[in-house]
Amino acid sequence: MLRALAILLVCQLVGETITRGLMLPLPGPVLGLVLLVMLLFLVERRHLVASATIDETSLGKLSNGLIAILGILFVPAGVGVIQQLGPLAQYGVALATALLVSTVLTLVVTVWVFVLVSRLVERKG
């Protein structure tokens, strides 16, 4: 359990150090995620870990446990809404319309392009 936590924290720390050091437009934990995937592929080559059994390792269990509680981790930042009630009320209608319409458009366009290009790729393959 602690070994698994150490792996996640080290990846995050290295990711944070590299992104800050090189001023990359990327959150440290996201680079940490990429580093951990690369690490897993390296270890897989030596047959120390396999994608079929990763869930049963302590790293797999801790990671899946964290992902299962992903929702609560956004609550503390979201509660920050109480600090911005002024601007939110002042431009309420404009911001609500912009957020709602933009979110629907983004979902629709993204999913359509994804499905369309998937079909094109599969037809060629």
Partner 1 sequence: MEAPFLLWVYLSTQPLLWLTLTVAIWVLADWLAERSGRNPLVNPVMIAIVVIAAVLLATNTPYGTYFDGAQFVYFLLGPATVAIAIPLFKNWPTVRRKALPMLAAMFAGTTVAIVSAVGIAALFGVPKDVLISLAPKSVTAAVAMSISDHLGGIPALTAVLVAITGVLGSVIVTPLMNAMGLRDYAARGFAVGVAAHGIGAARAFAVDPVAGTFAGIAMGLNAILSSLLVPVFVRLMF
Helices (H), 46-91: 58-68, 75-78, 85-90
Give the three-state DSSP class for 69.
coil
CB of residue 22 to partner 1, shortest distance in Å: 13
Dihedral sign (CA 62, 65, 71, 72): negative
Among 2, 22, 73, 89, binds partner 1 (CB under 8 A): 73
Task: Give the footprint of partner 1 on residues 3-22 (CB under 8 A).
Answer: 5, 8-9, 11-12, 15-16
Among 20, 45, 59, 89, binds partner 1 (CB under 8 A): 59
CA 117/CA 71 separation, integer angstroms: 31
Does position 114 interact with partner 1 (CB under 8 A)? The reply is: yes
Among 2, 22, 72, 89, binds partner 1 (CB under 8 A): 72
Dihedral sign (CA 46, 48, 52, 121): negative
Task: Give the footprint of partner 1 on residues 33-52 (CB under 8 A).
Answer: 33-34, 36-37, 40-41, 51
